[in-house]
Structure 1
Amino acid sequence: MARILALDYGTVRTGIAVTDELQIIASGLTTVDTKKIFSFLTSYLKNENVELFVVGEPKQLNNTASESEQFIKPFIEKLKTTFPKIPVKRVDERFTSKMAFQSMIDSGLKKKQRQNKALIDEISATIILQSYLQQI
């Protein structure tokens, strides 16, 4: 089997999480400067077999698309064009940042560590991936 890679896309940073090859465990991989995301993915895919991209889908409480969706749609189109053999699925990402922050508190991270936005993005990507794994 191949890995599933999740992306918590942001205009500044993109959090990335990945499954093990058996697609059982979701783990945070890293956070990448969004300007460098395609070079990171190209390099990563040279060494790892990925069968699916899961991208967070930000929604409002009333289930309509969030304002940030306007930035994510062009990213997804470029993702599909750049890596045409890897399908893209979307997962509702409502509350993932709050859940990520809460998990940082629950795991005992100090206040200074909890201010690390890159870590929040990586944990958010992990939560998105875990949500996807629970759906399949």
Structure 2
Amino acid sequence: MQTLIFADEMGRVLAIDFGTKRCGIAVTDELQLIASGLTTVERKDMMDFLSDYLISEEVELILIGEPKQKDGSPSDVEEHILKFIKKFSEAFPKQEILRVDERYTSKMAFQTMIDSGLKKKQRQNKALLDEISATIILQEYLYNK
């Protein structure tokens, strides 16, 4: 008879594609092997959503996309992201946050929608686009980890 021994569970990694209206969110499984889209949250509700999520799930790391222009300069939304990070860090000082380059994730997400056979009307769903973008950010992190 074989006995399976599992390593201690790690916390999840959560990725945020932060936008001016809403934020796409993706998360890994406890073993940090699989990235899955979780949801899309209105920006104004992000602190409440994350507070509730962090109570119910063990999160080791939060990735927040760092949107840049083609020339590498910060995107317009960066100012809002920095304000959010400051507020979040004050509320959760022990929670690790890592910024990751998110250039081209929206284009990649849109192409993923096309490749998966979504109809034109379905591809106009901006919330789904944001969630897929967050998933791509997370997959890139896991791949390069």
> Runs ≥4 in structure 1, deviation > 6 angstroms?
none
Alignment gaps of 5+ in structure 1: none
Does 1:52 find its partner at 2:30? no
**1:82 deviation in Å?**
1.5
Alignment equivalent of 2:79, drawn from 67, 70, 78: 70
Does 1:112 find its partner at 2:124? no
The answer on whether the counterparts of 1:15 and 1:123 sit within 8 Å (CA) in structure 2 is yes
1:6 maps to 15
The answer on whether the counterparts of 1:56 and 1:128 sit within 8 Å (CA) in structure 2 is yes
What is the DSSP-based 3-state SS (H/G/I as helix, E as strand, rest coil) of the residue aligned with 1:101? helix
**1:127 deviation in Å?**
0.6
The answer on whether the counterparts of 1:10 and 1:34 sit within 8 Å (CA) in structure 2 is yes
Does 1:38 find its partner at 2:47? yes
How does 1:89-108 map onto structure 2 within 5 Å?
89-108=98-117
Does 1:134 find its partner at 2:128? no
TM-score by length of 2: 0.91
The residue type equivalent to 1:99 in the other structure is: M
Number of matched residues? 136
Deviation string for 1:52-82 (max 9, x for gaps)?
A: 1100000111112122211111111112111
Distance 1:127 1:79 in 2: 23
What is the DSSP-based 3-state SS (H/G/I as helix, E as strand, rest coil) of the residue aligned with 1:59? coil
Distance 2:64 2:40 in 1: 14
Q: Percent identity?
A: 65
**1:7 deviation in Å?**
0.5
Deviation string for 1:12-67 (max 9, x for gaps)?
A: 10100000000011100000011111111111111110011100000111112122
The residue type equivalent to 1:48 in the other structure is: E
TM-score by length of 1: 0.97
Alignment gaps of 5+ in structure 2: 1-9
Note the aligned Cα RMSD (angstroms): 0.8
Q: Bigger radius of gyration, 1 or 2? A: 2
